[in-house]
Amino acid sequence: MIRTLGLVIGLSVVLTTVGAAAGPRTSDAATETYAEYSLMFEKAAGQYFAGGAAAGQWAWTPLSAAESDISWGDPKAWPPASAEHFVHDDDWVLLEGYNDGAGRPLTQIQRVTTESLGDTNCINMRPLPSDGSRQHYVKWTIPTTGYCLDATGTIKPPNSSTTVNFRHLQKWLPPHPCSNPYYAGRTCITQYEQWWDDNQHAFSGQLTRTVELAKGLGMAFTNRTTVPLEWNADGRNYWHY
């Protein structure tokens, strides 16, 4: 089965839980990078809670100075048989595709056919030059203003035996104070995203949510989902392994 956006995979896991009860470019010392918020080049992991119980877990598996996989899944059935593969290239983090577990070869390759970049409100959108047709997922250097990314494309196995069409709209907001029920006085960046695909159904919206990444902690600091249903989760446990 095609695995679309890795965080969509994570959402399916947590909904089940709830229902059941050298290297990357070195930036100026004063400039923040996506790595400081995501921890993508550290052996970092975390759990997010909903309804007082662990609803899901994530973990980064750095593969080189420029590549890293992230896994999302059920803490009780770890590790999951899926991961997303990201690459740091110049001032972008690019999404390559998905595999059957961190560090394994890609089993689903994601490529864009159109991409555009605009301001926070997705106005003044302009085409993004292609980088091997890989999706521009997020800027490496954290800007002081928000921006919008809109990508359409396909997800296919290496033999191209099946094709899933997708659209991924993202709005990234600059650093701001943040907190959740377990942590106060943090600094976060925000990702608002919408995802559409035709994976075994008519092309339609599958996900709408707003998530925060906390500097020094990592992913899923807060999660406010409205599609496919209203659901909230907050990061509670963070560690290195």
Is 178 contained in some domain? Answer: yes
Please report the DSSP string for 69-134 in residue order: EEEEE-GGGPSPS-EEEEEEETTEEEEEEEESSTTSPEEEEEEEEEEEEEETTS-S-EEPPPSTT-
> What's the domain count of the chain?
1
Is residue 123, in this structure, part of any structural domain at all? Answer: yes
Burial of 85 (0-12, 13-18, 19+ CB in 10 A): buried
Residue 1 covered by a domain: no
Residue 18 has pLDDT above 70, yes or no: no
Q: Return the DSSP state at 33.
A: B
Could you list the residue range(s) of the whole structural domain that residue 234 is in?
6-240
Residue listed under structure tokens 């902690």: 217
19 compared with 226, residue with greater pLDDT: 226
Query: Can you give the pTM of this predicted structure?
Result: 0.88
pLDDT(180) > 70: yes
DSSP 8-state symbol, 41: T
Bridge partners, residue 231, by sequence: 225
3-state secondary structure of 68: strand
Structure tokens at 43: 């052996």
**Per-residue pLDDT tens over the stretch 202-220:** 999 999 999 999 999 999 9
Give the residues across from 192 on adjacent strands: 171, 210
Instruction: Give pLDDT, residue 13.
Output: 38
Distance, CA of 11 to CA of 7 (rounded, Å): 6
Supply the pLDDT for residue 8: 45
Q: Does some domain include residue 104?
A: yes
Is 114 part of a structural domain of the chain? yes
3-state secondary structure of 177: strand
Q: What is the mean pLDDT of residues 25-35?
A: 67
Residue 72 and residue 60: Cα distance in Å, rounded? 9
Q: What confidence tier does 30 reach under pLDDT thresholds 50, 70, 90?
A: low
How many CB atoms lie under 10 A from the CB of residue 140? 18
C-alpha distance from residue 147 to each of 118, 124, 170, 192 (Å)? 6, 10, 8, 11
pLDDT at residue 29, rounded to an integer: 41
Predicted confidence (pLDDT) per residue in 97-137, tens digit: 999 999 999 999 999 999 999 999 999 999 999 999 999 99
